[in-house]
Structures are given as structure tokens and as C-alpha cells.
Amino acid sequence: MEFTETYKQSGPCCFSPNARYLAVAVDYRLVIRDVLTLKVVQLFSCLDKISYIEWAVDSEYILCGLYKRPMIQVWSLTQPEWTCKIDEGPAGIAYARWSPDSRHILTTSEFQLRLTVWSLLNTACIHVQWPKHASKGVSFTKDGKFAAICTRRDCKDYVNLLSCHTWEVMGVFAVDTLDLADIEWSPDDSAIVIWDSPLEYKVVIYSPDGRCLSKYQAYESGLGVKSVSWSPCGQYLAVGSYDQMVRVLSHLTWKVFAEFTHLSTVRAPCCAPVFKEVDEPLQLYMSELSLTEDFMQRNSENEPEGHIQVRYDVMEMPITLPFQKPLADKPNPKQGIGLLSWSSDSQFICTRNDSMPTVLWIWDIHHLELAAILVQKDPIRAAAWDPTCTRLVLCTGSSHLYMWTPSGAYCVSVPLPQFTVTDLKWNLDGSCLLVKDKESFCCAAVPMLPDSSEYSSDD
């Protein structure tokens, strides 16, 4: 992997949907860089520190959330002199997002009093009263024609279906939830999944016209759903729960056809490799030829201070994984499936059970079995699949990146002094990886993998 030099950042960074630009927040400045050269192509000054960044789908406009003020500023990449400011007044702004047409912005006021649709084409705006959440509870169809917005009134949850062309309400239906947590359209726009708060295990699938297609409840007592994710192909719905299990539903029957358990001890007949991160200190072996002081000094200068080389060792079964028992007397217990993500080809799922924060599990959905386990020294901060091939990259706040493919796992040292990886993001074309430290970032060019057919499930 080849790494660029570091650049300053103070918050959100994101690639444009057309994969050509990188937007970076540096205090109150919005810096737009070219992805290939990382040269600055535009620089915008906002009225306050930038808390949130989101590109419009067409990559022409970019939204900056100044939530401390609170207000929204919008900039145009093709018309730098054009400006737009959105201020809800006393109602405030808790969250903002783009509509699929890139010409409307949806803002949610403080205390979820209302959701407002703002047009960049004219001064018209539309209000939806009592949105359920600020940053959640809104989902768009993949074709961009409709929006499903969750609202709550009279102690009851509803879904409002709006046309993204006219923003007229096409329909409203009540949903069978105690306290709706979130909503998500299926990738083929044929169904809407809704799940309840952790206090009530309930996953409900509705048709766009409000008909209940299926209800799923794995158990009644105990905390329920923690994470939900559609596979990119739309054939599977994965549900991660507080009971440390992932259940996968089929879109044909809406029944569970796979259950994956995250046990603290892994035994045979499990044949999945377990990769454990171990230290590999740099050692210089003395030979008959003595090492000169100049040689030693040059090598110490090239090696970042405090840098330790690491590698993966393949462990033998049985193996006991690091486990943290959640505290019963504290809210938001660290247990259950907090990380749940599909590979781009829908064959693999990576998961993290929050009571085992240093362990990443990778499941093969085609063979319904465990594909690999990665055991890190430090808690896993982020994990992201390559959008173009079957490759997973993760970080743990160390000076290394960790990668897994169906052919194995390996560690990559970031050759930058005092640089610890706290977050990472892929460019949508898979050409490079954004690697973030606390106050800086760099980009990494990732070599292409062999043809994905090499890892076909038919092999």
C-alpha cells in the first residue's frame, strides 16, 4: 500500500458520490480536494465550526451542518459564488440530509417538533409534524422516488410516505411498534423493514402501501434488536440482537434460515481460521560484520518512534476469546451485535459482539458457516468492506491497518510518525482509502485483488 502525506482535519471527511473529490472539515473551513492529487480545488468559509458534511447525490452541492449555532450552509462546487443558509430560528436544527434529487434538503428541528423540506430551486418549504427521530427514521427508495418518514403522535408510531417529486403525502399508516427505533427500504424498493427499541424484540416488514408482510420476534424476555442490515442484493435481512446472535431472514419467506452465535470459546468442528494479532519487535541480528553507528542511526530515524511491528498468528482450536462481562447496574450495556456489515457481493457478513470488542467475526452466508475470526490487541474502532471486491479493512486506534480477504489476513503498518488510525472510509470506486487520525488524515492507494471469481463459492 502507498500512503500520502498527512493533511489537517478537525471532524467529518467524506468522498463525493462520483469518487472525484474529498470534502474535509477544518474548524470553520470546508476544504475540497481532488482525490487523485489531493490538491485543493475549492475552499469555503462557514460561519461556525463544521459538525457534519454530506454531499448531494450528483456531487455538485455539499451541505455543512453547523449544529452549535445551529444552522445549515450549502455550497456549490461548480458555482463557488453561490451561497445558501438555512436557519430554523428558535426551533433549531438537530440534523440535515439531502434528498435523492440533490435539490432538496430535509432538516429536523430540536425536540423533533417538525421535519422541513427545503427547496434549492425556490423558496417553498414543506413541513412534516412530529418526526420520530432527528438523525434516524427517514429512508429513501433506491430509485429516489419516495421517502418514508417515521412520525409519532398520540403515543403511536406512523410511517408517512411522501413523493420526492412533489413532496405530497401519498399515504400514512400506523405501525405495530412500542417505540420505533428505525426504518429502512429494501434494496429493490419492494418492502420496508421497521424495528422496535431494545426493550421490545420486534422486526416488522411492510409493503409500501402499508400491508404487514411479516412480523418476527426471536424471544420475549430481555433486550432485543441492536442492529439491522439489508444485504446489497436485497435477498437477505440480517438482525443483530443483544443475545449475541445474528439471525438472517430470507426475502422470499421472511423466515430465519441462518443463525450465527458469538461464543467466547470456539471449538472443533469449527474449521475457520482464527487470526490473532501479536507483536513482532524489530530485531537486528549481529553477524560477523559489526553494525556501524551510522547504520543504526539511519534505521532508527526511518522507524517511527514507539513503532512496533505486528503480524497475525493462526491459532489452534479450541481457543478462548477475550470477553468483557457487561455491568448490570449501568445503562447501555456493552453487549450484543453493535457492528453488522455486508460485503459488496452479499456473500460475507462481518460482526462485532460488543462484549468482545477486540474480536471481529466474518460469516459466509453462501455456506452458512464461520469464515474467519480476527482477534485484535485493541478494541475495533471501525471496519469497512471494499465496495468493488471482497476485502475488509479495519482499525483499532493503533498505527496499523488490518485486512482480510478469503485468501487470508494481514497487517499493514502506516509509515507516518505518531499516526494512529481512528477511522477509515473507502472511496466509492475502491481506488483509495481515507485513513483518519485524531487531527489529521491521509489516503492510501490499495492494490487491486485478483479476479473475484477466484473466491467463488463454487470453488
Residue 122 pLDDT greater than 90, yes or no? no
| pLDDT tens-digit series, residues 294-316 | 434 434 444 455 567 899 999 99
Q: What is the pLDDT of residues 152-171, one digit of tens each?
A: 999 999 999 999 999 999 99
pLDDT at position 389, please? 95
| 281 or 92, higher pLDDT | 92
Pick one of 2.30.110.10, 3.40.605.10, 3.40.50.1370, 2.40.10.480 as the CATH number of 9-87. 2.40.10.480
Across 8-31, average pLDDT: 97
Count of C-beta atoms within a 10 Å radius of residue 103: 18
Compute the average pLDDT of residues 337-361. 97
pLDDT higher than threshold 90 for residue 332? no
User: Do the domains at 9-87 and 274-448 have one common CATH topology?
Assistant: no
pLDDT of res. 326: 78
pTM (predicted TM-score) = 0.90
Flag whether pLDDT at 282 surpasses 80.
no
Q: In this predicted model, what pLDDT tens digit does every residue of 206-239 receive, in sequence order?
A: 999 999 999 999 999 889 999 999 999 999 999 9
- pLDDT in the model for residue 284: 45
Q: What percent of the chain has pLDDT over 90?
A: 83
Banded pLDDT at 351 (limits 50, 70, 90)? very high
Top-tier CATH class for 274-448: mainly beta
Mean pLDDT within 435-445: 96
Flag the least confident range among 196-200, 212-216, 282-286: 282-286
> What's the whole-number average pLDDT of the chain?
91
* Digit-coded pLDDT (tens) for 355-388: 999 999 999 999 999 999 999 999 999 999 999 9
Would you kindly state where each structural domain of the chain is located, as residue ranges? 9-87, 274-448
φ and ψ at 111, to 5 degrees?
60, 15
